[in-house]
Amino acid sequence: MYYNSVVNLPLYTYLLSNNSKIHQINNNFQTYKSTKSQIAQMRKAIISAILISAIIISGCTQSQAGNKDTFTIAEIAEHNTETDCWLLIDEKVYDTTDYIISHPGGTAMLQGCGTDATDLFNTRQMGSKTPHSNNAEDLLKDYYIGDLKIE
């Protein structure tokens, strides 16, 4: 028995320490696995938060514009300044505020802000007295925001 203990002690010590090493590795692996799944959960949460924010922001932007595509004459008339200029042309409504600064005809466009500017746009009485070019007609499409509401 004594002999057995003395001879096998190093073996038992080795096995014991080895066992605790395995235990340690196993623990590390478990921690690694749970850290990995936590990261995956966080990633899912971040992606969901981004998606939800995008949906909310796009909803707000739409409702800021009134979320409608028809406007009455009275509504159009409210947008009659150089910092907020809507034009009604052929029963279509255009927000041309951002174009004022680059308009080749300068401030001539301001005469039409908030009004039915069909004649002004088509005849350019203050200028060449000719209709706008096809290029101008194409540009106009970029500023379309809705139609005239027939009351």
Binding site for ligand HEM (CB under 6 A): 87, 96, 99, 103-105, 108-109, 111-112, 117, 120-121, 124, 126-128, 130, 132-133, 135-136, 139-140, 143
CB–CB of 79/110 below 8 Å?
A: no
Least gap, CB of 126 to ligand HEM (angstroms): 5
CB atoms within 10 A of CB 93: 21
Contact of 127 with 105, CB cutoff 8 Å: yes
CB of 123 to ligand HEM, least distance (A): 8
Q: Which is nearer to ligand HEM, 59 or 127 (CB)?
A: 127
Tokens of 120: 């002004």
With respect to ligand HEM, which residue has the nearer C-beta, 56 or 126?
Answer: 126
CA distance 50 to 67: 23
